[in-house]
Amino acid sequence: MREHVEQMQQMTLADFTQELSGNAPVPGGGGTAALCGALAASLSSMVASLTVGKKKYEAVREDMNALIRDAGRLREEFLNLIDEDAEAFKPLAAAYRLPQGTEEEKGARRYVMEQALSRAAESPLHILEKTQETLTLVRTAARKGSMIAVSDAGCAAAILEAAARCAALNVTVNTRLMGDKEAAGCLERRAQEILAECQKESENIYLSVSSFLQLNQ
């Protein structure tokens, strides 16, 4: 694993996918979900950028400019979450290496593990929250954006569904090991609630775009 995982977002695509394909624990599913979110935000911005300046879409110019601004912010936040997810794993990896030869050591290890698992679960939960926020932009892009780019809005919706599914799995893989079942349950329920909403919204957008394209062949 690279020494400075906080710079993971600065990798080239070739380097990132090479790192992803190896035996290092990060980047993994969480970082990949965040990257998907950044790609979807970029696609929604692309739709808006292709809409702004067109006389036919003058009525939605302000909406598209706002979308471009929000999408740029979300893209940066998703990229930061790639690094956040990698950073969140570091204390968990360290906790697994703690000694547990005595009862005192076992107790100390359990405490550290609990804190590390909670942090590791919160990072993909943040990705889920940003995924849900990005879907509102994609919906706007699909409804108001240029028809020549509507397929890109549909692609963004599909990518965000995948991102949400991946992020939710990365919440669960940590909460299932937490000793504090009440705290774990809160994190898990929140993740599943957002996932369900993201799945519904992304499918609605995707099907809407697909139907539009089929009717306008």
CB-hemisphere CA count at 13 Å for 1?
Answer: 16
Q: Does residue 25 surpass a pLDDT of 50? A: yes
| pLDDT given at position 44 | 98
Q: Does residue 199 surpass a pLDDT of 90? A: yes
| pLDDT given at position 101 | 83
The CATH label, of 3.30.1390.10, 1.10.3720.10, 1.20.120.680, 1.20.1260.10, for the domain at 20-215 is: 1.20.120.680
| pLDDT given at position 99 | 82
CB burial readout 37-74, b (16+ within 10 A) else e: bbbbbbbbbbbbbbbbeeeebeebeebbeebbebbeeb
Cis link prior to 91 (omega < 30° from 0)? no
- Which phi and psi angles does 83 have, rounded to 5°? -70, -40
Task: Give, in degrees to the nearest 5, the angle at Cα 191 between 202 and 4.
Answer: 95
| CA 79/CA 69 separation, integer angstroms | 16
| CA 46/CA 143 separation, integer angstroms | 14
pLDDT digits (tens, 9 = 90+) for 115-164: 999 999 999 999 999 999 999 999 999 999 999 999 999 999 999 999 99
| CA 60/CA 53 separation, integer angstroms | 10
| pLDDT given at position 89 | 85
| End-to-end Cα separation, the chain, in angstroms | 49
Among candidate residues 184, 168, 149, 166, the one with its CA nearest the CA of residue 64 = 149
Give the domain ranges of the chain: 20-215
Of 64 and 103, the one with more pLDDT: 64
Task: Give, in degrees to the nearest 5, the angle at Cα 173 between 202 and 87.
Answer: 90
| CA 100/CA 176 separation, integer angstroms | 21
pLDDT digits (tens, 9 = 90+) for 39-96: 999 999 999 999 999 999 999 999 999 999 999 999 999 999 999 998 888 888 888 8
| pLDDT given at position 3 | 44
Supply the mean pLDDT for the chain. Answer: 92
| pLDDT given at position 100 | 84
| CA 120/CA 122 separation, integer angstroms | 6
| CA 122/CA 171 separation, integer angstroms | 7
